A and B are shown apart, each in its own frame.
Chain A
Amino acid sequence: MSKAHILKAIQAAKPVPCPLPVVPVFEAETPPTREIFGSVAAQSGSRVVRAEDFVGLATAVRTIYPKDISIATPLRAIQSDIDLQQASPADLNGVDVAVIPAQLGVAENGAVWVTEADCVHRVLPFIAQHLVLVLPEDRIVRNMHEAYAQIKIDDTGFGVFIAGPSKTADIEQSLVIGAQGARSLTIILI
């Protein structure tokens, strides 16, 4: 049995116990503002806008993505063109824009925490051509330490920090936006 074998080998090989350090929260002097979050997110290729500047969420989505007709969203405020409860994951391949509520934003890296419960289908934020995350403005924290203190990573079966549109630099280090996942990310602050 390899498990017993491996554990025995570890017990014979492991060093004397070392203490586990306490991780501080590293609170910066500046509060985790919308401005810092917005500028860091922009550097990673995300677009950050405020819903109130568009007279509401639905208008914001339609204004930013005027040509993309099919929208998938679990949000009641926006008309969904596909019934997420009925669809299979593969059915979502034709979705132009996914609009998904998000739980938390991180100012230091522009990442946004999204869980399975928010997406209905885990694949939705990845398979849609464009992704819109809707984030309450008061849910922005400073850094990843604060973020992990506020979320519970095993609350649902799957959760993800999304820090921009899908990208790659695998051909000669040239940055290309839109590798396998969404080609653009818009974060709408509410």
Chain B
Amino acid sequence: MKEHATKAAAFIQDEARTNWHDESLWFVRSKRDKAAHGIPEWEQLRELASQIKDHTLSHLDEYLEAFEAKAKENGVTVHWAADAAEHNRIVHSILQEHNARRIVKSKSMLTEECGLNEYLEEQDMEVIDTDLGERIIQLKEEPPSHIVMPAIHLKKEEVGELFHQKLQTKKGATDPQYLTEAARQHLRQSFLQADAAITGVNFAIAETGGVVVCTNEGNADMGTHLAPLQIHCMGIEKILPKAEHLGVFTRLLARSATGQPSTIFTSHHHKAKEGGAMHIVIVDNGRTTQLGRPDFRNSLKCIRCGACMNTCPIYRRSGGHSYDSTVPGPIGSILTPGIDLKKYSGLPFASTLCGSCSDVCPVKIDIHEQLYKWRQIIAEEGHLPTAKKQSMVMAGKVLSRPGWYKMAGKSARWVTRWLPRPLIYNPLNTWGKARELPEAPKESFQEWYRKNRSAS
């Protein structure tokens, strides 16, 4: 796998586009601030959300069992999947039982994580993603680059060209209104013809056995209410104890995600429609392992609002694809090393540790602290890239030997002052790639101190 830095370097080749991407996301972050500042009890809500999640995680087994019992009472079939492969097999077998071949799906990071689309397509099934952003990237055969705005990396000209090829829109048309209307017409046919609808889950309520799905487009509802079969796939961490807790989380989710006071549709599913069938698949896929890591279990509180991405100076300037993981950005960088430490060993370094992610997180995940802790583990387990490893070993030696340290300082001061530019800003000096080194002082602090203070 290519390092994040390598992919980010490719992304920033186009400076105008990088700036555009940066500004688009900062715009969303600004809307979030405005919405959050409109709620006097905002900080209290974050604290409550964090505590409710702490409580729920500490009783997760009990709540999942209560949820299942209640859902069964409601006539819903509940399945449990240990990993992605089992999840895909279960979904496939439910579809087979109902002779379903045409499937409409609404946005679900979990099914993305499990690779459900590819799996079902291999079984000769048709899967149509119905969120506009998801449909765009599905047609473009790309993964999402953001968990809330999957096509945020694309320009309207690119969407226009794509729709011209795939949906026969007018050549050169780029008006978002026109393109959205074309997608609406196209997707409406898919909804009407679908045999089954699959959705993700924002919240699952232990007390009532129901699931809550939030969208702005209404695509999840068009799918579930038209198709005879509805399947909801959820990670084990989506549970909330009671309906009253939805009050806290619905107030936080949309404001954090897009700055809206509420998602347009907050749908509560408890029973199948008349003549229909409803299934829920509960998935572990590495989450219990993360729960067992005291330093990192907090990451399971995530409600997938994407606020940490919108605020992150690295994400904004490197694009979601540079992370090469289903969930990119700061939260992705603390979730993915827990799944595959070697593959994702670069991600915890894709951060300045500025802490902005933790500041905006609606459930108060200590994201930047976890990034730092993953770095320690990655170094201990020997997954640092060679250059970084060797420079760290060298730095360790220098910093633990006062004589070496003084010498290093002296030579650095001499080098930056007297060596010609091309020799300093050489390809080995990665720090000098896009930065000017500071002007070196004539003497070290120690030398200055000896001269000016030690006599007195």
- The distance in angstroms between the C-alpha atoms of A99 and B426, with both chains bound, is 70
Query: Residues of B contacting A40 with CB < 8 Å?
Result: 261
B244 and A145 form a contact (CB under 8 A): yes
Give A contacts to B, CB under 8 Å.
1-3, 5-7, 9-21, 23, 26, 40, 43-44, 89-90, 93, 106, 108-111, 116, 121-123, 126-127, 143-145, 147-149, 152-154, 156-174, 176, 178-182
B297 and A179 form a contact (CB under 8 A): no
Query: Residues of A contacting B409 with CB < 8 Å?
Result: none
Q: How large is the interface on B (under 10, 10 to 19, 20 to 34, 35 or more residues)?
A: 35 or more
- The distance in angstroms between the C-alpha atoms of A147 and B262, with both chains bound, is 13
Give the contacting residue for A171; candidates B130, B159, B188, B292; CB below 8 A: B159
Query: Residues of B contacting A26 with CB < 8 Å?
Result: 41, 44
B82 and A147 form a contact (CB under 8 A): no
Q: A44-B260, A126-B221, A178-B180 are in contact. Are A21 and B55 (CB under 8 A)?
A: yes
Query: Residues of B contacting A174 with CB < 8 Å?
Result: 156, 176-177
For this complex, 11 residue pairs linking A to B, each with C-beta atoms less than 8 Å apart, are A1-B80, A16-B58, A93-B188, A153-B243, A154-B268, A156-B270, A158-B268, A173-B152, A180-B191, A180-B218, A181-B221
Give the contacting residue for A21; candidates B51, B159, B271, B272; CB below 8 A: B51
- The distance in angstroms between the C-alpha atoms of A121 and B58, with both chains bound, is 39
B247 and A23 form a contact (CB under 8 A): yes
Q: Counting CB contacts under 8 A, is B184 at the interface? A: yes
- For B263, give the chain A residue with the smallest CB separation: A163
- For A131, give the chain B residue with the smallest CB separation: B218
A162 and B64 form a contact (CB under 8 A): no
As a 0/1 sequence over residues 206 to 219 of chain B, the CB contacts with chain A under 8 angstroms (1 = contact) are 00111000001111
Among B4-12, B283-291, B379-387, the one that faces the other chain is B283-291
B221 and A160 form a contact (CB under 8 A): yes
Q: Counting CB contacts under 8 A, is B192 at the interface? A: yes
Query: Residues of B contacting A162 with CB < 8 Å?
Result: 264-265
B265 and A181 form a contact (CB under 8 A): yes
Q: A2-B86, A171-B176 are in contact. Are A153 and B52 (CB under 8 A)?
A: no
Q: Counting CB contacts under 8 A, is B277 at the interface? A: no
Within 8 A of A (CB), among B28-82: 28, 39, 41, 44, 48, 51-52, 54-55, 57-61, 64-65, 68, 74, 80-82
- For A167, give the chain B residue with the smallest CB separation: B216
- The distance in angstroms between the C-alpha atoms of A160 and B60, with both chains bound, is 26
Give the contacting residue for A157; candidates B154, B187, B217, B273; CB below 8 A: B273
B61 and A10 form a contact (CB under 8 A): yes
Main secondary structure of the interface of A (DSSP, over half): loop
- The distance in angstroms between the C-alpha atoms of A6 and B48, with both chains bound, is 27
Those 4 A-B pairs whose CB atoms lie nearest each other, nearest first: A181-B218, A157-B271, A13-B292, A170-B133
- The distance in angstroms between the C-alpha atoms of A170 and B316, with both chains bound, is 17
Give the contacting residue for A10; candidates B222, B251, B261, B291; CB below 8 A: B291
- The distance in angstroms between the C-alpha atoms of A154 and B271, with both chains bound, is 9
B188 and A111 form a contact (CB under 8 A): no
- The distance in angstroms between the C-alpha atoms of A90 and B273, with both chains bound, is 14
Chain A-chain B contacts (Cβ-Cβ < 8 Å), number? 268
- For A164, give the chain B residue with the smallest CB separation: B264
Give the contacting residue for A180; candidates B39, B74, B176, B222; CB below 8 A: B222
Within 8 A of A (CB), among B84-104: 86
A123 and B216 form a contact (CB under 8 A): no
Known: A13-B297, A156-B271, A163-B260. 13 other contacts (CB 8 A): A6-B236, A9-B289, A11-B61, A12-B292, A14-B61, A17-B55, A21-B48, A152-B243, A157-B272, A161-B262, A161-B266, A180-B132, A181-B264
- For A170, give the chain B residue with the smallest CB separation: B133
Q: A6-B288, A111-B266, A147-B247 are in contact. Are A14 and B261 (CB under 8 A)?
A: no
A166 and B264 form a contact (CB under 8 A): yes
B58 and A14 form a contact (CB under 8 A): yes
- The distance in angstroms between the C-alpha atoms of A59 and B208, with both chains bound, is 40
Q: A26-B41, A126-B225, A178-B180 are in contact. Are A14 and B267 (CB under 8 A)?
A: no
B184 and A178 form a contact (CB under 8 A): yes
- For B41, give the chain A residue with the smallest CB separation: A26
- The distance in angstroms between the C-alpha atoms of A171 and B155, with both chains bound, is 7
Query: Residues of A contacting B180 with CB < 8 Å?
Result: 168, 170-171, 176, 178-179
B270 and A157 form a contact (CB under 8 A): yes
Q: Counting CB contacts under 8 A, is B427 at the interface? A: no
Q: Counting CB contacts under 8 A, is B269 at the interface? A: yes
A110 and B262 form a contact (CB under 8 A): yes
Give the contacting residue for B284; candidates A6, A89, A123; CB below 8 A: A6
- The distance in angstroms between the C-alpha atoms of A89 and B294, with both chains bound, is 49
- For B178, give the chain A residue with the smallest CB separation: A176
A143 and B251 form a contact (CB under 8 A): yes
Q: Counting CB contacts under 8 A, is B241 at the interface? A: yes
Query: Residues of B contacting A153 with CB < 8 Å?
Result: 205, 208, 210, 243, 246, 268, 270
Most buried by B among A116, A149, A168: A168
Q: Counting CB contacts under 8 A, is B201 at the interface? A: no
